[in-house]
Amino acid sequence: MFYFKRLLNFLLVAGLVCGLALITAGLLRNNGFLLMGGVLWFIISVSRFIPKPKRPESGEERKKRIHLEREEQERLRKEAVIKSWDIPKQVIAAQQGDAQAQYLLGRAYLEGIGVEQDPQKGLYWLEQASEQGHQETYKYLKYLDTRQDKIINENLIQSLREIIAKKRNRELADIIANKINESH
């Protein structure tokens, strides 16, 4: 295939050169036929270099292409996350009470990044991080609550909502305690 393309390119360039030679000969000899033949040969050779317009893609083709591009982006994102999170270290840190590690481990289990997907374990670690007041975890839990997809089944959605409610209750209790302290 490589040699075929090289040969084709050589022939196209040769066609351009021949076309220019005929144009020159036509001008020098004052011969209209040579000149016209050279111009046509040159135009035909140049037209080979102009790319042909692509057929416009249909709505279905566009949707399919976008879907495949998103899947590829998600795959690449997960690969990058796996490398950056270093899951074995996150497990040790999470077991020692590190809220950020618990959050990352929870996401890893929920999304199946670097570990086998296990929504139960994922929510367990997210709850642990949430109980320590990790703000990113709370935002992620609220995001998951709005995202009704295959990751979380109905039982886990209920657990998720309970975690969010606990977090809200703690925040409300803190606000009330601060108001009471301010008034005294």
Tokens 């606990």, residue?
166
pLDDT at 69: 92
Give the Cα-Cα-Cα angle 34, 38, 44 (nearest 5 degrees).
145
pLDDT at 71: 87
pLDDT at 79: 77
Distance between CA atoms of residues 31 and 36, nearest Å? 9
Give the Cα-Cα-Cα angle 13, 18, 21 (nearest 5 degrees).
130
CA 75 vs. chain centroid, Å, equals 8
Q: Give the number of other Cβ atoms within 10 Å of residue 105's Cβ.
A: 28
Residue ranges in the chain modelled with pLDDT below 50 = none
pLDDT at 153: 56
* Dihedral of alpha carbons 122, 124, 145, 170, sign: negative
Q: Whole-model pTM? A: 0.48
Beta carbons of 125 and 163 less than 8 angstroms apart = no
pLDDT at 97: 92
pLDDT at 56: 80
